[in-house]
Structure 1
Amino acid sequence: MFTFPILAVRKVIDRGIADAAANGGFRNPYYGTRPAEGETPGIWLVGDEGVYIMSNGKLPEGGCALVVYAEQCHPKGDIDWWDYKRRHFGGDDGIEFIEAERLLRLFDRNMRATHLNIQLTETEIALSLITR
């Protein structure tokens, strides 16, 4: 399971939308292998060096996406980040796309929630909210 503050998730979504408006749309998370799939507002859940979410709007030359690390899996501060990533995301690098509409509907149904939990299984991405 990976946990992110809802305010940070909203900022990542907003940044992706702003980048898309300024730079011609959304990036394809599948490196073009599935044309047009995932080229809508959303976030990328990335397993790489740690696990993080990032904005998906097209970037200007040399631009950087907004990145927010999972509370449990930041390579600078979590000693066992690699083991945690391998256990809950897998050993290989990868990207999972999550639509902004799905997230925003979930957030709007529970305005008191403060954090988003993302859990991956073999076949699905399960989302849940917690209040701290």
Structure 2
Amino acid sequence: MILLTASDLRTVLVEARAHTCHVVLVKDQGVYMITDKSNASDNGLPRLIVYATGCNPETVPFDDWWECARAEFGGDDFVEYLDPDAAVFDRVIDDGWNLEIRADANHLYLNAVKPDA
């Protein structure tokens, strides 16, 4: 299971909805979500990237984040385009619930989960 915290993910989801574009789940150098459209570079700002817990190559040693990503998603890199208006993302934005992502050989499973108190 991969976890993205609501406090981080909310900004990417709101940006995707504002630009009427996809939110993108990526596994390459880490596991993260971004939007497929952004005005960040036009404004001189860095692009919003939200890394999954334990999968940020800037803060987690290579062997650790790589194994975390491989354990859930296998060894191949991928990009998956998601609808930011999906109901699961409402819980993240409106209620502050975190997002769990699980995978099997054929499917991704997204689930909003209440943060631990």
TM-score class normalised by the smaller sequence = 0.7 to 0.9
Alignment-derived partner of residue 85 in structure 2: 101
- Residue of structure 2 aligned with 1:81, choices 65, 87, 92: 65
Q: In structure 1, how many angstroms separate the alpha carbons of the residues matched to 2:13 and 2:74?
A: 25
- RMSD over equivalenced CA pairs, Å: 2.6
**Structure 2 length-normalised TM:** 0.74
Runs of 4+ aligned structure 1 residues displaced above 3 Å come to 58-65
The 3 A distance-change label for structure 1 pair 115 and 63 is: same
The TM-score with structure 1 as length reference comes to 0.67
Over 3 Å counting, the alpha-carbon distance change for 1:56 and 1:64 in structure 2 is farther
Unpaired runs of 5+ residues, structure 2, are none
Specify every segment of 5 or more residues in structure 1 that has no aligned partner in the other structure, as ranges. 21-39
Amino acid in structure 1 at the alignment position of 2:109: A
Give 1:63 shift. Answer: 7.3
1:51 equivalent among 6, 20, 31: 31
- Of Structure 1 and Structure 2, the greater helix share is in 2
1:69 has 2:56 as partner: no
Match for 1:90: what amino acid?
A: G
User: How many residue pairs align between the two structures?
Assistant: 109
Give the deviation of 1:100 after TM superposition.
Answer: 1.1
